[in-house]
Amino acid sequence: MTTALSSMPKAELHLHIEGTLEPELILALAARNGIAMPFPTLAELRAQYEFADLQSFLNLYYANMAVLVTAEDFADMTRAYLGRAQASGLRHVEIMFDPQAHLLRGVDLATAVNGIAGALAASEAEFGISTALIAAFLRDQSEASALEVLAELLAMDAPIVGIGLDSAEVGNPPSKFVRLYERARDAGLRLVAHAGEEGSPSYVWDALDLLDVERIDHGIRSMEDPALVERLAREQVPLTVCPLSNVRLRAVDVLAAHPLPAMLAARLNVCVNSDDPAYFGGYVDSNFQALVDEFNFDADTLATLAANSIRSSFAPEERKAELLAELAVWRAAQA
Ligand code: HPA
Ligand code: ZN
């Protein structure tokens, strides 16, 4: 099954590029930039990857970003992800980056944007993967900060397709960012937001009603609210689900308790994503493999998940049609 899974054409829509920094690359970049790290050996660093919740992960995730200094660092990180994405059968990826996290530690926007966008620009030719870039704002920072950074991104004509909202969810509801999303919509940007990862279903309602987002990142806690499930099914709102992330951050106890099968049964528009693969035990192919191992998903279910990822993307319609046709060929080749 492994070979078939990694040859299944698909898109990844929920991926934090800073969450693809593997421990080996962290230490290599630290050495290249002469940065002393708190956990200077692979063994010491790897020992930190046990998380109790979202915040305990975020602490390590932000600390490890210290090694990203030059545009070349951002480009190397992005290229490493694209290579891994190619191996897992991804044909289109939409990656988030955290501009404020870099600004807060003194790395300017142009360095991050040029490094990431430079690697993405070569992706179709180098890896056969089409791409889009999403600027994610830190919901535990102020809306004023987000508005300032969005204005800077627009002024520099950064090649972003949309905005997202990430970091510590509980206590930082969508209502805090109404003006940010208005401003982004006026600028012609696509809108997504994390909601219902650790936060209650009200965060999903508010992301839809107050921010007018087109996609919800995570959204698993929606299953606690039957009226919300009914709406998500009726409107076919895409939910970018991240199974291994949810296990590692203890949003669910074990994979067997993950709501994805119930979400599929409720006819929700779900797809499978890796979130922060260097931290959560695997890339998108590992997420699919874990689902097959746990739930015994058949080829039709896998193809539904892949088709959802392609249809829910911000890729041009011709690209979606091309990838859906590739997926149909893959499906026909399965027993
Ligand atoms: N959740 C919220 N914020 C994040 C995540 C996540 O999984 N990864 C990076 N920022
Ligand atoms: Zn995420």
CA distance linking residue 257 with residue 243, whole number of Å: 10
The pLDDT value recorded for residue 4 is 87
**All domains of the chain in start order, with CATH:** 2-334 (3.20.20.140)
User: Which one from 197, 317, 322, 326 is the annotated catalytic residue?
Assistant: 197
CA of 139 to the centre of ligand 1 (A): 10
**Residue 199 CB–ligand 1 contact under 6 Å:** no
CA of 33 to the centre of ligand 1 (A): 26
CA of 222 to the centre of ligand 2 (A): 16
List CB-based neighbours of ion ligand 2 within 5 Å: 275
- Rounded to 5 degrees, φ, ψ at 162 are -170, -175
CA distance linking residue 107 with residue 70, whole number of Å: 8
> CA-CA-CA-CA torsion for 225, 137, 239, 314, nearest 10 degrees?
150
All residues at 6 or more sequence positions from 57 whose CB lies less than 8 Å from its CB, including other chains: 51, 248, 249, 276, 279
The pLDDT value recorded for residue 187 is 98
- In the predicted model, residues of the chain with pLDDT beneath 70 are 1-3
* Minimal-distance CA residue to ligand 1 atom 4: 167
User: Tell me: the pLDDT tens digits for 265-318?
Assistant: 999 999 999 999 999 999 999 999 999 999 999 999 999 999 999 999 999 999
User: Tell me: the pLDDT tens digits for 56-65?
Assistant: 999 999 999 9
- pTM (two decimals): 0.98
**Residue 54 CB–ligand 1 contact under 6 Å:** yes
Instruction: Report the chain's mean pLDDT, rounded to a whole number.
Output: 97
**Residue 269 CB–ligand 1 contact under 6 Å:** no
User: Which of 127, 122, 187, 129 is closest to 155 using CA atoms?
Assistant: 187
CA distance linking residue 5 with residue 53, whole number of Å: 29
Whether residue 197 lies in the annotated active site:
yes
Sign of the dihedral through C-alpha 173, 176, 182, 184: negative
